[in-house]
């Protein structure tokens, strides 16, 4: 940290320098953001065989998650079906039959 300068001629120059340095940091962050966006766009296009689709990776992930959800739903259906069959079966055994 710098020592505050009490010279009235230097103070406005130092203030302007701090403002410019802050602006420069903002611009560097903007450049970093743009570079990251371009990398994501390029990677997405390479996943989509270069057809120009920016969301190629999302399409691949959508298919993958859709398959995973179907598998999970099938598993859950099987578990629930077994429990219902056991419950219904035991309920039928407990009900007295009319003669």
d(CA 36, CA 98): 75
In the chain, domain spans: 11-94
The token duo for 31 is 């450049």
Q: pLDDT tens-digit profile of 33-61? A: 999 988 877 877 665 565 656 577 777 88
Give the pLDDT mean for 63-74: 93
Length of the chain: 99
d(CA 85, CA 71): 21
Statement: residue 28 has pLDDT above 60: yes
The answer to whether the beta carbons of residues 75 and 82 sit under 8 Å apart is no
pTM above 0.85, yes or no: no
* pLDDT for the residue numbered 88: 76
Count each helix (H run) and each strand (E run) in the chain, helices first.
Answer: 2, 0
Q: pLDDT tens-digit profile of 71-99? A: 999 999 999 988 888 887 766 656 565 55
* pLDDT for the residue numbered 57: 72
Neighbour-count burial for 84-93, b at 16+ CB within 10 Å, e otherwise: eeeeeeeeee
**Around Cβ 45, how many Cβ atoms within 10 Å?**
17
């Amino acid at each position: 940290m710098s020592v505050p300068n009490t010279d009235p001629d230097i103070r406005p120059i130092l203030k302007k320098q701090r403002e410019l340095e802050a602006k420069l940091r903002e611009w560097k962050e903007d450049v970093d953001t743009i570079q990251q966006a371009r990398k994501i766009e390029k990677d997405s296009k390479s996943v989509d065989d270069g057809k120009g689709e920016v969301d190629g990776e999302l399409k691949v992930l959508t298919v993958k998650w859709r398959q995973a959800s179907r598998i999970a739903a099938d598993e859950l259906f099987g578990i629930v079906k077994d429990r219902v069959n056991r419950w219904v079966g035991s309920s039928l055994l407990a009900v007295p039959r009319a003669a």
